[in-house]
Structure 1
Amino acid sequence: MAGLEGMEQPRRHASATAARWSPGVEDERALKALELFGNPTKAEVPLPSRPESAATARRLTQVVVLREWGLSPKIAEDAVLLVSELVGNAVRHTGARVFGLRMRSRRGWIRIEVRDPSRGLPCLMPVQEMDISGRGLYLVDKLSDRWGVDLLPRGKTTWFEIRVTPDR
């Protein structure tokens, strides 16, 4: 009997997780993030340099790309993944207390920027198949059309751009 109880536990946990996440719930959370933190298309949004801020940045990106800009789910998926990587780098490597998130669009392009107070430059490293970390900039390099770093008097802005075309 104890063996069967042990088998029941993972199923209950999996269904609880499935109940917590759904597109509707995630959309609601994205709109709440926009309300709480502000719109990164209007002005730079300051976020605390904590791992949880990656989820906030993903939600803000989702709501802006899908709802405000009306772009495809594929572009939103790529943008959400890449913003998460830039935010993760800012949180892990800069020692900042706060970083800024900004999103811009112009004809045929979207641009997402993460500003932090460190002047240390990110480094694109070669990635091996079995690597468990260090893939962030590799993903940015592969999935974006352009990316770069702008040095500022006090810090830097790391950014990526994705071309928005009818077939993408």
Structure 2
Amino acid sequence: MMGDMAGLEGMEQPRPRSDPAAARWGIPGAHRKPALAPRGPAPAAVDLVGDPTLGEVRLPSRPQSAGIARRLTAAVLLRQWSLTPQLAEHAVLLVSELVGNAVRHTGARTFGLRMLRRRGWIRIEVRDPSRGLPCLMPVQEMDTSGRGLFLVDKLSDRWGVDLLPRGKTTWFEMRIADR
């Protein structure tokens, strides 16, 4: 189900203090370390591993982490942000695909998950230490793998990859109806 990615890198490196994506998204205090405890009542997944809306949540690079990332995404989109079940379902699927790529193709020990919201948009990011770029593969009806980025391309409004000094952030954005 995943697209191919080239390149393996060694150790995970910390994200730089200055975060251009957070600045573009108007995240106040993006240069500061996020608070450790989520605000208000939080779902169990957020309580266990952290709130990806307050800062990057680090997860071990294991297949089981895709389930944790899916639960975090559903909890944030449905409970914290009160978005539609269909949008949450699509976002959960896309997070699973990006996490699957990070786990399968990077050789990393951990990856990061972060969720941002601004008026009319959500953005979900998966960061890993590999600078190998994901590749959108042509998909045939009977293919049993290689559909991950195809789904990201079809279900998100925008997606891309930001290369970092040590690694990359693969992200997608979806339009939302603000109330």
Q: Distance in 2 between matches of 1:130 and 1:98?
A: 32
Structure 1 residue 165, shift from structure 2 partner: 2.6
Counterpart code for 1:85: E
Residue segments in structure 2 that go unaligned for 5+ positions in a row: 1-41
Alpha-carbon distance in structure 2 between the residues aligned to 1:162 and 1:72? 12
What is the count of residue pairs matched by the alignment? 137
If you compute each CA radius of gyration, which structure gives the higher value, 1 or 2?
1
Residue identity opposite 1:94 in structure 2: T
Taking structure 2 as the reference length, the TM-score comes to 0.75
Could you tell me whether the CA contact under 8 Å between 2:123 and 2:174 is conserved in 1? Answer: yes
Q: Which has the higher helix share?
A: 1
Q: Runs of at least 4 residues of structure 1 off by over 6 A? A: none
Counterpart in the other structure of 2:90: 78
Letter in 2 for 1:92: R
Quote the residue 2:24 is aligned against: none
1:112 alignment partner, one of 109, 124, 132: 124
- Measured against aligned partners, the alpha-carbon deviations of 1:23-66 in whole angstroms (never above 9, x if no partner) come to xxxxxxx9222111000000100000000000000000000000
Question: What TM-score, normalized to structure 1?
Answer: 0.80
Question: Which one of the candidate residues 51, 55, 65 is aligned to 2:77?
Answer: 65
Alignment gaps of 5+ in structure 1: 1-29
- The answer to whether 1:94 aligns with 2:99 is no
| Larger RCO, structures 1/2 (Cα 8 Å, 6+ apart) | 2
Identity of aligned pairs, percent? Answer: 78
